[in-house]
Amino acid sequence: MGKDLYMIPKSFEYCAPTNLKEALSLMAKLKEDAKILAGGHSLIPMMKLRVLSPRIIVDINKIKELSYIKVKGKNIHVGALTRHHEIESSDIINKYLPILSDAAKVIGDPQVRNMGTIGGSLAHADPAADYPPITLALNATIKAKSLRGERKIMASKFFLDIFTTTLKPTELLTEVIFPLPSGKSGGAFAKFERKAGDFATVSAAVQIALDERERVKSVGIGLGAAGPKPIKATKAERLMVKKKVDDNLIEKVAERAKEEAEPISDLRGSAEYKKEMIAVYVKRALKKALERAKAM
């Protein structure tokens, strides 16, 4: 009886706004009393375990204006309610940002990919989630709205700690903005998981741009499950700029990224083991990103 009790959430009120203004009005009124329901794959299990017991659930799934993928000027805009399967199958994403499709196709199972959202994943800020390191590698901007206005937050400033972001209780994550790659550019995401669809033991995201002589013009490296929040491996990035990539440089970059990681020991492995795997998966992502860039 006792065990069964804690698989049942505490009672709560339920709201399902049909537009953004209505949702923001509710959040302005409810503040810390409310939790947002998007895909629900993190919120519902936490409620069942009573890790979270919100007084009110605000279900945003009826807000159709938050689901889209479109090119605007020099950026790709992805609405917060865009599902994983839509990212995986998007012609725009597969043409310009296959690194995102790499991640979307290894998230959970088909049921999760059909309901889970990019905004929900980022707002939840699980350090082992797949999208956060990609936003760092791509220097993405995260848009948050409240009744008081709109904020644009660089991904490098968005994640504060485990399950903690700069979002305020009255704000809703509404959009993710990715710079549109140009020229010889390529990206890749590599994930080490215990079984298909699992959260990452470690992951690496790499986005690279080459000049006309195939030297590195710019590079972004994001690490997942490498600390209490996703890590942007800035020291590893600096090793690459203005250099031609060869096997020796790839080894040095992977080792430097490993040094920047701060994984913890848990059921998925020891901190030492994860550090070694970070080096392996940075190399894999870097080689694939380089291959894609040279093919452009």
Tens-place pLDDT, residues 18-70: 999 999 999 999 988 888 999 877 888 888 888 888 889 999 999 999 999 99
CATH superfamily of 184-295: CO dehydrogenase flavoprotein, C-terminal domain (3.30.390.50)
pLDDT range class, residue 1, cuts 50, 70, 90 = very low
Domain boundaries, the chain: 2-59, 65-179, 184-295
Distance CA 180, CA 166 (A): 25
Distance CA 65, CA 19 (A): 7
> Which tokens go with 156?
């490098």
Mind listing the pLDDT tens digit for each residue in 254-293? 999 999 999 999 989 999 999 999 999 999 999 999 999 9
Assigned architecture for domain 65-179: 2-Layer Sandwich (3.30)
Distance CA 129, CA 42 (A): 11
Distance CA 81, CA 107 (A): 16
19 CB neighbour count, 10 Å cutoff: 14
Name the average pLDDT for the chain. Answer: 94
User: Over 50: is that where the pLDDT of 158 sits?
Assistant: yes
**Could you tell me the CA-to-CA distances from 200 to 127, 165, 183 in Å, in that order?**
9, 20, 31
The CATH class of 2-59 is alpha beta
- Quote the pLDDT of residue 10: 85
- Mean pLDDT is lowest, of 50-54, 74-78, 169-173, for 50-54
**Average pLDDT of 9-17?**
91
Count the residues in the chain: 296
Distance CA 171, CA 31 (A): 9
Burial label for 112, CB within 10 Å (0-12, 13-18, 19+), is middle
DSSP 8-state secondary structure symbol assigned to residue 59: E
Distance CA 37, CA 31 (A): 14
> For 126, phi and psi rounded to 5 degrees?
-70, 125
> Which tokens go with 282?
């940075």
